[in-house]
Amino acid sequence: MPAPKPPLIAQKEQFENLFEYSPYAIFIHDFKKIVKVNRTFLNLFGYKTEKEILGQPSFALVFPEDRKIIEEARKSATEGIQFFIPNVRLVKADGSIFTAEAHVSSIIMDDSQHLRIYVRDITESKIAEMKLLESGRKYRTLFENSLDGIYKSTPEGKFVDVNSAMVEMLGYDSVEELLAIDIKTQLYFKIEDRKIMAAHEEDQYPLKRKDGSKIWVEDHSYYEYDENGKIAFHHGILRDVTGKLEKQREMKKLLDVTEDQNKKLQNFAHIISHNIRSHSANLSSIVHLMEGKKSKKEEAKLFDMLKTSTLKLEETIQNLNEIVTINQNLNKPLERRNLEKEITNTLKVLSGDILSAAIEISIEVPSTLEVNVIPAYLDSILLNLLSNAIKYQRAKTTSHIWINAKREYDYVILEISDNGIGIDLVKNADKLFRMYETFHKNKDSRGFGLYITKNQIEAMGGKIEVKSKPGQGSTFSVYFKE
């Protein structure tokens, strides 16, 4: 059997309790005046007793400019349609205004139709909503007017949002064009350039602009995670630091040059104090010996010694003068030279020595490859390295010299290899490019050619490296700065 319905008195009491203690402010209107309100209504609207509001028209509670929507609600309710008002301004007893949402419906009370209105204060949520909207507007203003690039991207490598500064920084024509690119293939030169970073980490890495040129950026970024803890989006602010890094590189280069110059100056001072002092002491000794009475034979011998010492002093001064000249040309403008043509010219100069030694020459240099050089230095470098390769061949072995060149990153690399006697780098690596250091018993060795070659290459912004093993040959690699 169905459960018996509660007595009508109990139903009425239950309704009255729901009405009186509802969290909503409720008032009942008979289409002319307010006839009933609950406690929540009195508290919300600031009335002390029902008497203050009963008998008042409902429009007294509504801000004048919002009364039209109340009229629409009342009209719908009379037709049996519940009406929801999401946003209406209502007036309290003290005249203050607050924002509320309202539900309007029709009920039968005392055998006649009435309106029942539920009201909830949404002022705080409305303020919060407005603040959120204002915050969003401010963010968009900052987003669009920032001088730094701002972006939001997916882990798959697509931009979701970018600002105008980002578009301009990367050389694209519009936001839409940048949003359409694949970040992994179109923005990075190599994907390893962009490592996954921890949240809020700062990093610097190169990016590829639309025209293929490179810029360096500083990235301040963080990740946005989904409910499963996976990366949903990558947010970041990019700043173009290409100019800053170039200045830092120039500063480092200047410091390196200064340090190198100091080392060279110390070495130069050592050479002057040691070599010229030795020559001076030798000359003084010979002159002292010549002061006494000597036979013609002794005088001739001493004169030959004096002549030899004078020539050696002159040679040392010429060498030192050559070093000074190189250091004075550090800022001399470089010129473009065809490398294959310059190598061919040098080989012509050395053709007699090449034929005499029966040396085979192999050249693999692109015919269009050019280098930025001081022409006189390039002549000297090629002449020194090739003449050494010819001079230090092994006996009873078919002599061969290989000349190769290629462009790699920021350099043109020239390699000159031979199968000659080689150099013991374990013993001599730190002495190889010093002045007056020799490693073979060749009577023509002065220990000056490699020292000059290194100075000339470095004066043009390049570097030189060597690989060598005794009895197997040597490879000198010259890096010409592009």
pLDDT digits (tens, 9 = 90+) for 346-380: 888 788 788 888 889 999 999 999 998 888 788 88
* Structure token digits, residue 368: 């269009």
For residues 229-239, b (16+ Cβ closer than 10 Å) or e, as one string? eeeebbbbbbb
How far apart are the C-alpha atoms of 208 and 203, rounded to whole Å? Answer: 16
Q: Hey, how many other C-beta atoms are within 10 angstroms of the C-beta on 217?
A: 21
Task: Please give the backbone phi and psi of residue 265, each rounded to the nearest 5 degrees, phi first.
Answer: -65, -40
| pLDDT tens, N- to C-terminus, the chain (482 residues) | 454 544 444 545 555 667 777 888 999 988 888 999 999 999 999 999 989 999 988 888 988 888 888 888 888 877 878 888 888 889 999 999 888 888 888 888 888 888 888 998 887 877 676 666 666 666 666 777 778 888 888 888 899 888 888 888 899 999 899 889 988 888 887 766 555 443 334 577 888 899 989 888 888 878 888 888 888 888 888 888 888 877 877 787 777 767 766 666 665 555 555 556 656 666 776 777 777 656 777 777 777 777 777 776 676 666 566 666 655 555 567 889 899 999 988 888 788 788 888 889 999 999 999 998 888 788 888 888 888 888 888 877 888 999 999 998 889 999 999 988 888 777 765 666 665 555 555 555 445 577 778 888 888 888 888 888 888 888 989 999 88
For residues 292-310, b (16+ Cβ closer than 10 Å) or e, as one string? eeeeeeeeeebeebbeebe
CB 137 within 8 A of CB 124: no
What is the CA angle 22-26-27, rounded to 5?
150
What's the pLDDT at 413?
A: 93
Please name which of 155, 235, 245 lies closest in space to residue 200, comparing C-alpha atoms. Answer: 235
Domains of the chain, first to last: 8-124 (3.30.450.20), 146-240 (3.30.450.20), 246-328 (no CATH), 335-481 (3.30.565.10)
Q: Which residues contact 210 (CB under 8 A, 6 or more apart)?
A: 170, 171, 172
How far apart are the C-alpha atoms of 318 and 435, rounded to whole Å? Answer: 13
CB 403 within 8 A of CB 340: no
Give the distance from CA 269 to its chain's centroid: 43
Ramachandran class of 357: left when φ > 0, alpha when ψ lies in -120 to 50, beta otherwise: alpha
